[in-house]
Amino acid sequence: MRERTVPSPSDELIREYCRDFMENVFYFCLRKTGDTQAAEELCSDISLAVITSLRKGALPESFAAWVWQVARNRHADFAERRRKYRERSAGEDISEYELEDGSEHFEDRLVREEELKLLRRELAFISSDYRDILTAFYIEDRSLKDISRSLNLPENTVKSRLVRARKKLKEGINMAREFGPKSYKPEEVSFNGSGWFPADRFPFDEVKKKIPKNILLEASNNPETAEELAIALGVALPYMEDEIDGLVRTTLLKKVGNKYITNIPILSRDIQKKLYGVQFSHSNEGADLVKIISEYALPKIKALGCVRNGKITDNELLWYISDAILRGTEQPSPAPAVREDGEKWQFVGFEEYDRPAYGGLDNQSAATDKMSFARQTVCGFGGDSDNPEIKFSMGSITLLADVIKNGRKVSDLSESEKLLWESVEGVYAHTEPDGSVTPDILVFEGAMSSKYTPQVCLDILASHPAFEELSELRRSVQKELVGILREDNSPIIADQIELTAKMTDRFGDIVMEELVERSALKPLTGSDRFKGTSWILV
């Protein structure tokens, strides 16, 4: 039998470095150099130094601190070597070059590859007003007169811009670019909208790619020039300009002077945690009130005769009642703010992170999965389009309501109605031996209320004093959400805050989750999951 080799401490540390530090060291190098090739070279140098030292027996007490000290030392040596190389190779100060037509080519003066890399890098981060002139004069070797004619600008304007552009170029070449973290690790942002969106400026179309998403994230409460945005994202400005123009055109981005600021709320991870934290902090009180109201309402709703065939248990009915209470106490949605172009719609960005699991969002268990279904199906349509077991259309709903209301038998249905009935049979109703139909869901008669709840049911719920107490609690929670959002967002989107607070309201889902945790609501499984929380109004 082969004897098992025990790894040495140095081997373990080398594995740890490769597993836990190598990628971060590369990002450190990329941030310091602003160049992928240089970052790879520097990262290799640091890694070689670390591994060589460990092989020679170095066993640092604090491994992480030691690794980063090696990285800083090797970067200092690397930067010094590059500085000396530039001094030897550049020779002349580019601000001293003559602006005479027919002057020596710019590329001939910067003969070293290192300088050409820096030149191209800086051209990528200079705005088109300057970049086009620099490229035409130095790279394409065109005269000032030719450039002024092609750009439809006075020759003196071209010359003055060229002087300013060379100054910007010199400053950029002599600096170590500090690219933002989005340059190597772009964030993911999701969006939610409300209102009527113009077809020719549909905001969802503008934020399908990472670049516009991260432009909005970078410029949220943080006005920046186009050049600053390009550096922050590590994307050459020519590739950014169309994205910026599209965001301005759809009013998602606003230009103020020579800077751009996001014209919609973008909720950071920290702000979302605060918003959810407020709602979680009141969930116990909310669950107490829902439980009081539902226990009061349960026998009264059963007395309406809407529980048919004896198949709906008290627990299933409590799912419906609890949801109806929370829907009935929701605060009304404010109207969307009027955009600069006169349209009325709201758009909110959410920086993605691992949100806490609760019903209606990140369903992690049978209980929360059930709850999410309850919140969808309890509105009276009784179907889940994503579930192959459920194929329930508006035609099926209309037919079921007609059959129940008028006491029709399946044998009386037309051939087309019988085809529709196939999606109802055994799921929401069943046929008795004599051909009559018995519903297996809640059935209400009368007018619908504005809260997606039959008025007769809402009247029962609202008759308990705790219903108004819960409504007041939800108003208070909304005020807290508005307060948090006002502190975090610039005045430029002040008229969008009220609706944003409403769009972040997950209080109903959180309270339902709390009721499950308390066992006040018991998870529903099997076929009951698709029946017990569905209802129909006839």
Listed range (74-88, 168-182, 441-455) with the worst mean pLDDT: 168-182
For residue range 429-451, list pLDDT tens digits in order.
889 999 898 888 888 877 767 66
The full 3-state SS of 210-232, as one line of letters, equals HHHHHHHHHCCCCCECHHHHHHH
Taking residue 500's Cβ as centre, other Cβ atoms within 10 Å add up to: 25
Of these ranges, 316-330, 377-391, 471-485, 492-506, the one predicted with the greatest mean pLDDT is: 471-485
Helix ranges (DSSP H) in 207-338? 210-218, 226-233, 237-249, 269-281, 283-302, 314-328
Q: Checking DSSP bridges between strand 259-262 and strand 266-267, what pairing results, if any?
A: unpaired
What pTM was computed for the model? 0.62
For residue range 240-284, list pLDDT tens digits in order.
888 899 999 999 999 999 999 999 999 988 899 899 999 999 999
Listed range (36-40, 151-155, 171-175) with the worst mean pLDDT: 171-175
φ/ψ (deg, to 5) at 290: -60, -40
H-helix or E-strand spanning residue 68:
helix 63-90
Half-sphere exposure of 308 (CA within 13 A, CB side): 18
CATH numbers and ranges of domains, the chain: 9-90 (1.10.1740), 112-173 (1.10.10.10), 181-263 (1.10.10.10), 286-334+356-382+441-537 (no CATH)
Residue 119 above 70 pLDDT? Answer: no
Half-sphere exposure of 174 (CA within 13 A, CB side): 12
pLDDT given at position 171: 61
pLDDT given at position 139: 67
pLDDT given at position 151: 86
Listed range (325-329, 429-433, 443-447, 523-527) with the worst mean pLDDT: 523-527
454 within 8 A of 446, measured Cβ to Cβ: yes
How far is the C-alpha of 265 from the C-alpha of 421, rounded, in Å?
46
Residue 392 above 50 pLDDT? Answer: yes
pLDDT given at position 2: 42
Pair of tokens at residue 520? 């006040």
Residue 299 above 60 pLDDT? Answer: yes
Residue 474 above 80 pLDDT? Answer: yes
For residue range 160-173, list pLDDT tens digits in order.
888 887 776 666 55
By CB atoms closer than 10 A (0-12, 13-18, 19+), residue 458 is buried
489 within 8 A of 462, measured Cβ to Cβ: no
